[in-house]
Structure 1
Amino acid sequence: MTESQTREKPRILCLHGFRTSAKILETQIHKWPESVLEKLDLVYLDAPYPSTGKSGVEGIFDPPYFEWFQANQDFTEYENFEECMAFIEDFMVKNGPFDGLLGFSQGAILAAALPGMQAEGLVLTKVPKIKFLILISGAKLGGSKFGAPPLAANAFSSPVKCPSLHVIGENDFLKPESIALLDSFVDPIIIHHPKSHTIPRLDDQSLEIVNNFIEKIRNFAAT
């Protein structure tokens, strides 16, 4: 494959869920057909902190498990959030450039807030602008369930303009937050699926939506 062919693929940094891992996210994403995955250059990153408690995927996926940051029980106070931002930026500097982000659960919550924080000049100042987001089981920092860490206080003060694909489960405990998050985006593209808090297989309709989104973001890749 020539360099120009490689560069046509959007390069995407993938952020896994709470107390899981890069390897687990990669396994979950591989439920999607090869016809989709071959169009994307997906890079998976382990979060910086080893899990501080029981993982929801114990017995399903093998450890180790990681978390991006920690919060108190009602999500009003956060630890290691700024350190997490620095960790992600450092990885992007060394392994980029990246065109966009894909996140699941805690990774999606983080990814959703990053363009707004980047626009404010608070994070990701040494890397190119995030051009698009794929958010699976996402939620809003500063929404009804999750308070905003100081760094993310104004992340959604303006509508997020970059193209965004939102994957929302009908039986996901984060469904209300995922739907509320849509209001913060200009023209969000949405896939609804019947499952719970998971990365779903794609039915024909979802596959068409994903393929159309990839066509859209390929125009942004490596520009």
Structure 2
Amino acid sequence: MHFLCLHGHGTSAAVFKTQTATIRYELGKHHTYDFVQGSHPAEMAPGLEAISNPNTQHYCYFQLDSPSDFINALDQLDKYMASEGPFDGVMAFSQGAGLAAMYIVRSHLDGKPPPFRCAVLLAPNHVYDPAAWLEQGVVQLFDVQAHGRPIKIPTALVYGEKDPWKDRSESVVGLCEENRVFVARHSGGHDVPGLVAKDSVPEAVKMIRRVIVMAGDTS
């Protein structure tokens, strides 16, 4: 499978490569990965001192307090998909995972086919209603009661039991079709299993392999 990979706020494509190295190794050599860097400079996220130089530039995909900036990030992702895709799946962390989920949601609301065959969402941020942002300029969580579960593709959702924002991951679980979402909870915090929570890698990889098989890739 060919995966689009989106990093977290205050990291970079290079950092996400390092963070996912163990998972990607365990998944095997028959998958490929395209790491896309955010366009906005950002301060380095805490806890990256061991794998990233604080003096190098770190990035994000959008500013947290700007609805229009978030919509622009979705539009930029649309252009990237058109020029560099197609991608079979998406693997993303934190802000990148929230962006990926929102991209899937927007495709569903627009009546388009899902942009990916499967998703691997690592500690995703909240998913907001793109229509509310675009039409009213307000920040509003996506309303499952009003719109149903918009993420219909097989999805592996991985997050830490000690993550201070694990409620965000739990809320994204509620956006996924019940028989197509597989959750792996690891012993760490707001992290990708591998460099931390190493003992949780097998369970995370098991869930990821499950969604890959469900998506139709049996290699």
TM-score range, shorter chain: 0.7 to 0.9
Identity across the alignment (%): 22
Change (3 A) 1:193 1:117: same
1:31 counterpart SS class: helix
2:215 counterpart SS class: helix
Change (3 A) 1:173 1:150: farther
- Cα displacement string for residues 3-54 of structure 1 (whole angstroms, at most 9, x for unaligned residues): xxxxxxx211111000111111011100225240423221100012122x45
- When normalised by structure 1's length, the TM-score is 0.78
Supply the RMSD in Å over aligned alpha carbons: 2.8
**Aligned residue pair count:** 200
1:103 maps to 2:92? yes
Separation (CA, whole Å) in 1 of partners of 2:201 and 2:19: 16
Tell me if the contact between 1:98 and 1:128 (Cα under 8 Å) persists in the aligned partners: no
- Cα displacement string for residues 104-142 of structure 1 (whole angstroms, at most 9, x for unaligned residues): 0000111111112012339xx7x9732221100013324
Alignment match, 1:206: 204
- When normalised by structure 2's length, the TM-score is 0.79
Matches within 5 A, 1:5-154: 10-32=1-23, 34-51=25-42, 53-57=43-47, 59-60=49-50, 61-62=52-53, 63-72=56-65, 77-121=66-110, 129-142=115-128, 149-150=133-134
Alignment match, 1:195: 188
1:169 maps to 2:160? yes
5+ residue gaps, structure 1, are 1-9
Alignment match, 1:4: none
Change (3 A) 1:112 1:155: farther
Which of the pair is proportionally richer in helix? 2
Deviation at 1:174, TM superposition (A): 1.6
Change (3 A) 1:95 1:16: same
Tell me if the contact between 1:140 and 1:181 (Cα under 8 Å) persists in the aligned partners: yes
